[in-house]
Amino acid sequence: MAVLKKRALAEYSQVVQEEACSKPLQLMKKPHLSSAVEDEHVTVNTFEKLETSEALVAYLNHIQLNLSFQTDDKVVLLRKLIDTYHHSEQSYVRLKIVCILGDFRKVPKFDVQIIINEIIKLISTETSHKVCASMICTLKKLGSLLSSDSPVLGKIIAIGTKLLNNSNHLVKCHCLSLLGGLRSLNNLQGENVKLICKFTKSQDPRVRTAAYDALLQLHDRGQKLELCIYSDVCSALQDDNENVRQSAMRIIWVLSHTYPESCVVIPGCQDEVHLVDDAFAKICQAIGDLSVNVRTLAAELLGSMVNVNPHFLEQTLDKKLMSDMRRKRSAHERHWETVTSGEWASGARWADDKPRENLDAESVSLIHSGACGAFVHGLEDEFMEVRSASLDSLCQLALSNPRFATLSLDFLVDMFNDEIEEVRLKAIDCMTKISQLIVLREDQLEIILGVLEDSNVEIREGLHRMLGACRLSTKACLKLCVQALLDNLKRYSQDKRSIWRCLQLLGPRHPDLTLLLVPELLTVHPFFDMPEADVEDPSYVCVLLLVFNAAQFCPQILSLFEEHIRRHYRYLRDTISNFVPHLQLTGVEEMEGQIEFETNTNYFLQNVMSRLNQPISTNQIKVWDAACHDLIRLAQIDSSLAHGVELLATQLECHILIAKVMNSPAWIDSSSLNVQDGDVVKNLIDQLQRRSLRLQYMFSNLSTEEMLLIQSTRLQAMAIQLVYIVRASNTSALALSDHFVSRVEALKGYGNLPSFAGAIVKEIARVDDTKPGVLSRILLPILQAHIYVAPFCLPAKAFKLSADILEPSGESDNPQKFLAGFVLGVVLDAEIQGLAHSEYLRVRVKYPDLNAQLIIPQESHLKMIKHYPKNDSSENIISVPDHRLRTSVLVSHQVWTESSHIELSLVLDVTDPEVPSALKRWRGFSEDSFIIELCKPVRVLVSPKPIKRGI
């Protein structure tokens, strides 16, 4: 009741009083700017016509945008601008003019010294601080273009030094940045460092920050900062302004890298420590700073201080605990003790963390304990930025210090329980990185394995990767681990592949531990025959994978295999060959044939290559055709050569098509022949385009020569298309020829071009005019000269882009229902190998009515999977990263009468780089000629239901 009454009063008792409008509204016509501004051919005379300063600024804006296009004499324009500068009273007009003066540096072949001299003249009379600051800024930009011994540079610096005494902070800041960024490295340098150092004492925090930043700039440009500033910079860590603290901390970091070994006296006592250790302690203290930004920076910087004394390093994880003045051990320590004493913590006793020895009140220092507990604090920070930066640093330091790695383990494990997922994921990643250096104890493993139940796929898969890379201490550990993974599989069956991979890596790392577990895992009994397990059961496959992969390095395991396990081995070796290694099983005769076979493929390949590189014969196309067939078959047989061979085959196909087109009489002249022949040629050219695009985008990890060869082939294909369009059709080829020329230009920089590309580059450089007609006249003879020229070689390291859709599997018969016109999210999970251009990746959805949609996957859904060395021998690491796309594809359609299949596939859409924008609407290209399929489409059954009306 009371509330109601209150509200009623509140709403109705308001009296709105409008202020009497003192000024009557006025209709005004704004001066029309556009007439002058929009005029395409502005002349410098326009300045006189502009009366208001607004119009002037608008016009200046226009000039600035078109500066590099304008055809007027630049010097005249400059004069005009400076005249205007002198006449204008408004500071913002002058500011604009200074901006434009700065932009003159982008005008090609314009002498910046003229402008510098002009600005130096102007700056002495300028009264506005803002304009002044902007002038200094412009001078800095222009000065950076000068050579370091130019006398003008000296002038600029003199101006900068003089204006340091300006009363405005902005001017001072810009001057400092000028001094920091523009120093020619000569003997004056020391003087300037001193000058800048003086300004770190300025009363304005902004100037102080600028001074420290200038010092940092100097350092970046190779000037060695002097050690004597160290103590001053350290005191700046107590500055009131957080920006100053940040910049000062950066300088301390720089000094610690420059003079790690010099000694610093600790105030209050006579001890000396190395500067790097002292700096480390100082930065550690900043982890308890007031400002988040400072804390984050401190946490970031710590990571790169790897050469710090291990004693200090270990302190960062130590926070002397005490309770009621008595020393207390941390939970980690307590845990460790129970483990080593062979007794498990019951955790049931109250106060079992009872403190032990008494502490001397004098000896406990609460704050100034240097690096003490820095990471403990950093990892417990309120903000995830700090926590995640601390994790990174912790990991980096641990990588360089194995003992520290072992110590940090407990803290990393603790972070698995962070409230923010990104941090949890990062903790797991860090753990994976340092897993080479540590051996997991049983109690630690138990905690880690608990995380396998997490409902987040990313976390689980991260953990699988981590387990695959870690080292376990005992047999019980391994058993625990396998058991947990099997439980995980039972709970989340979609993790199958990830768990298999984990076990595949786990086996070879612990062959001896696995040996001890084999009878238990495979249920082998000395006397009884146990029932044979079902080889289709994923969890049984898990166990087999572990054992098989371990057996590679521990032949004793082989002798334990029973007949049905050998049978299963052969089956799995056939079905999931990339998970099962080759084993030397007696009684399995595959062995000998294998080696023989491998030598055969190499021999065969050499055979094909030599045939290819023979002198050109009359029926060259047939020779190529045959070789192409052979190569394609070869790629299917031998996986170790597949990628390179496939590249070669595709290249060959392109050249076969080129030869075919060139040999057909119809391709330059459509009028004389019948329509049918014309269609054949058109078809061939279309095919050639697709092939050459595949060639260009599907392969990565190539050497420069191989890449240029591919480019040359692609150029040939484009040339053929261009000539064809010019000669045999009546459509405009203007945009196409421009595009072609730009492609040729891009190749210019390389020496040692393949013969075709080389010839083209040479010819194009000779002509000025690039009209299509001229171009085609140049191209035709070159093309004809290069029909059969193609030096083939096998790019051994080439890597082919391929994708594998794991989910949806395409096997489900249950249609996914959704309301027609609304959206259905279909979960798509795919692995992509060798993706070099992730920006072109698309998901294609094909509906039964042949409509196709290309969907750009969200950037965050495409994740790079880092590969950690599989074994200690790091030979077989592929340098191309794997990608994982996990996204939900949005599908929508109108009502269907029954459910039907849609097709999902992954494609590359190279329309953007390949089609010049002027041609986007041209219909000469068929829609999907710039789409490269990466995998077979997967079919998903969906059924859009009509919306039920009137519920």
Partner 1 sequence: MTDIKVTPLGAGQDVGRSCILLQMGGKNIMLDCGMHMGYNDERRFPDFSYIADGNLTESLDCVIISHFHLDHCGALPFMTEMVGYNGPIYMTHPTKAIAPILLEDMRKVAVERKGETNFFTSAHIKDCMKKVIAVTLHQTVQVDSEIEIKAYYAGHVLGAAMFHVKVGNQSVVYTGDYNMTPDRHLGAAWIDKCRPNILISESTYATTIRDSKRCRERDFLKKVHDCVDRGGKVLIPVFALGRAQELCILLETYWERMNLKAPIYFAVGLTEKANNYYKMFITWTNQKIRKTFVQRNMFEFKHIRPFDKSYADTPGPMVVFATPGMLHAGLSLQLFKKWAPNENNMLIMPGYCVSGTVGAKVLSGAKKVEIENRQVIEVKMSVQYMSFSAHADAKGIMQLIQYCEPQNVLLVHGEGVKMEFLKQKIQQEYGIDCYMPANGESAYIPCKPVVPVDVSLSLLKKEMALYDTVGAPDPKRPCRMHGVLVMKDNVLKLMEPEQAFGELGLNRHSIRFTSCIQLRLPGTAIRAMDQIQLILNSQNTNYPVKPSDEGLLNLESVSIKMETTDKEDRKSMMISWALQDEDLATWIMSSLRQVIV
Distance CA 191, CA 179 (A): 11
Stretch that binds partner 1, among 359-367, 479-487, 659-667, 743-751 (CB under 8 A): 359-367
Q: Coil, helix or strand for 291?
A: coil
Q: Rounded to the nearest whole angstrom, what is the least distance from the CB of residue 299 to partner 1 in the complex?
A: 15
Handedness of CA 271, 272, 276, 278 (dihedral sign): positive
Residue 491 or 748: which CB sits closer to partner 1? 491
* Minimal distance, residue 485 CB to partner 1, in Å: 16
d(Cα 504, Cα 553) in Å, to the nearest integer?
A: 13
What is the token pair recorded at 777? 């006249």
- Examine residue 201 and tell whether it contacts partner 1 (CB under 8 A): yes
Task: Give the β-pairing of 816-819 and 938-945.
Answer: parallel
Q: Is 323 in the site for partner 1 (CB under 8 A)?
A: yes
Tell which one of 189, 330, 436, 474 touches partner 1 (CB under 8 A): 330
Does the protein bind partner 1 through residue 4 (CB under 8 A)? no
Least distance between partner 1 and beta carbon 202 (Å): 5
331 lies in the binding site for partner 1 (CB under 8 A): yes
Among 415, 438, 722, 906, which residue interacts with partner 1 (rule: CB under 8 A)?
415
322 touches partner 1 (CB under 8 A): yes
In the complex with partner 1, the residue whose CB is nearer, 87 or 198, is: 198
Answer for which of 14, 124, 165, 814 binds partner 1 (CB under 8 A) is 165
Task: Single out the segment in contact with partner 1 by CB under 8 A; choices: 62-70, 115-123, 221-229, 323-331.
Answer: 323-331
- Stretch (H or E) spanning 162: helix 151-163
Q: Which of 278, 300, 381, 495 binds partner 1 (CB under 8 A)?
A: 381
Is residue 939 classed as helix, strand or coil in its secondary structure? strand
Taking CB under 8 A as the rule, does residue 349 contact partner 1? yes
Identity of the residue, 446 or 562, whose beta carbon is nearer to partner 1 in the bound complex: 446
For residue 690, give every residue at least 6 positions away whose Cβ sits within 8 Å of its Cβ, in sequence order, or none.
Answer: 929, 932
Alpha carbons 523 and 521: distance in angstroms, whole number: 6
Does the protein bind partner 1 through residue 351 (CB under 8 A)? yes
User: CA 85, 91, 93, 99 torsion: positive or negative?
Assistant: positive
Residues numbered 221 to 240 that lie near partner 1 (CB under 8 A) are: 240
- Other Cβ atoms less than 10 A from the Cβ of 521: the count is 18
Q: Per rule CB under 8 A, is residue 166 in the interface with partner 1? A: yes
CB of residue 410 to partner 1, shortest distance in Å? 8
202 lies in the binding site for partner 1 (CB under 8 A): yes
Instruction: Scan residues 238-257 and list those touching partner 1 (CB under 8 A).
Output: 240
779/848 Cα distance (integer angstroms): 44
Per DSSP, what are the bridge partners of residue 831? 804, 884
Nearest distance from C-beta of residue 360 to partner 1, angstroms? 11
How many CB atoms are located within 10 Å of the residue 421 CB? 13
Q: What is the CA radius of gyration of the chain?
A: 37
Of 148, 231, 456, 640, the one binding partner 1 by CB under 8 A: 456
Q: Which stretch binds partner 1 (CB under 8 A): 137-145, 382-390, 584-592, 646-654?
A: 382-390
Q: Is 494 in the site for partner 1 (CB under 8 A)?
A: no
Does 384 bind partner 1 (CB under 8 A)? Our answer is: yes
Q: How far is the CB of 457 from partner 1 (least distance, A)?
A: 12
Helix intervals (H) in 273-383: 275-285, 292-302, 310-315, 331-340, 374-379
For position 486 contacting partner 1 by CB under 8 A, the verdict is no
Stretch of 111-119, 329-337, 839-847, 907-915 lying at the interface with partner 1 (CB under 8 A): 329-337
Nearer to partner 1, 97 or 179 (CB): 179
CB atoms inside a 10 Å sphere around CB 436: 15
The DSSP element (H or E) to which 9 belongs, if any, is: helix 2-12
Q: Is 353 helix (H, G, I), strand (E, B) or coil?
A: coil
Using alpha carbons, list the distances in angstroms from residue 152 to 139, 251, 871. 11, 30, 60
Q: Helix, strand or coil for residue 862?
A: strand
User: How far, in Å, are 619, 808, 860 from residue 494 at the CA level?
Assistant: 54, 11, 21
Which tokens belong to 474?
């005992």
Q: Which stretch binds partner 1 (CB under 8 A): 128-136, 454-462, 744-752, 828-836?
A: 454-462
Task: Map residues 418-437 to x or -, x wherever contact with partner 1 holds by CB under 8 A.
Answer: xxx-----------------
- The strand pairing partners of 263, in sequence order, are 274
The region of 59-67, 357-365, 751-759, 812-820 touching partner 1 under the rule CB under 8 A is 357-365
**Residue 344 within binding range of partner 1, rule CB under 8 A:** no
- CA distances to 235, 668, 868 from 664, rounded to whole Å, are 82, 9, 53
List C-alpha distances in Å: 146 to 102, 121, 160.
14, 18, 16
What residues have CB less than 8 Å from 625, skipping those under 6 apart? 656
Q: CA-CA distance, 638 to 796, in Å (whole number)?
A: 13
Query: What is the Cα 132 distance to its own chain's centre?
Result: 40
Which residue, 23 or 349, has its beta carbon nearer to partner 1? 349
The gap between the terminal CA atoms of the chain, to the nearest Å, is 38
| Region from 254-262, 328-336, 537-545, 845-853 binding partner 1, contact rule CB under 8 A | 328-336
Residue whose CB is less far from partner 1, 447 or 585: 447
HSE (side-chain half, CA atoms, 13 Å) at 632: 10
Q: What DSSP letter does each residue of 36-55 carry, written as one string?
A: HHS-SS--TTHHHH--SHHH
Contact with partner 1 (CB under 8 A): which of 26, 147, 455, 874? Answer: 455
Tell me which stretch binds partner 1 (CB under 8 A): 30-38, 220-228, 343-351, 679-687.
343-351
Question: Does residue 162 bind partner 1 (CB under 8 A)?
Answer: no
Burial class (CB in 10 A: 0-12, 13-18, 19+), 290: exposed
Single residue of 439, 447, 457, 780 touching partner 1 by CB under 8 A = 447
List the beta strands (DSSP E) in 194-261. Answer: none
How many chain residues bind partner 1 (CB under 8 A)? 57
Output the smallest distance, CB 210 to partner 1, in A. 13
| Stretch near partner 1 under the rule CB under 8 A, chosen from 181-189, 322-330, 870-878, 882-890 | 322-330
The yes or no reply on residue 376 touching partner 1 (CB under 8 A) is yes
- What is the Cα–Cα distance from 904 to 845, expressed in whole angstroms? 5
Stretch that binds partner 1, among 112-120, 125-133, 160-168, 734-742 (CB under 8 A): 160-168
C-alpha distances (whole Å) from 406 to each of 411, 436, 476, 505 are 10, 11, 20, 22
Q: Could you say which residues in the range 290-319 bind partner 1, by CB under 8 A? A: 290, 319
**Site membership for partner 1, residue 822 (CB under 8 A):** no
Dump the DSSP string for 267-284.
TTSS-EEEHHHHHHHHHH
Q: Is 348 in the site for partner 1 (CB under 8 A)?
A: yes
Rounded least distance, CB 639 to partner 1, Å: 38
Task: Output the smallest distance, CB 680 to partner 1, in A.
Answer: 58
Could you list the residues that contact partner 1 (CB under 8 A)?
164-167, 195, 198-199, 201-203, 240, 288, 290, 319-325, 328, 330-332, 347-351, 353, 361, 364-368, 376, 379-384, 411, 414-415, 417-420, 447, 450, 453-456, 491
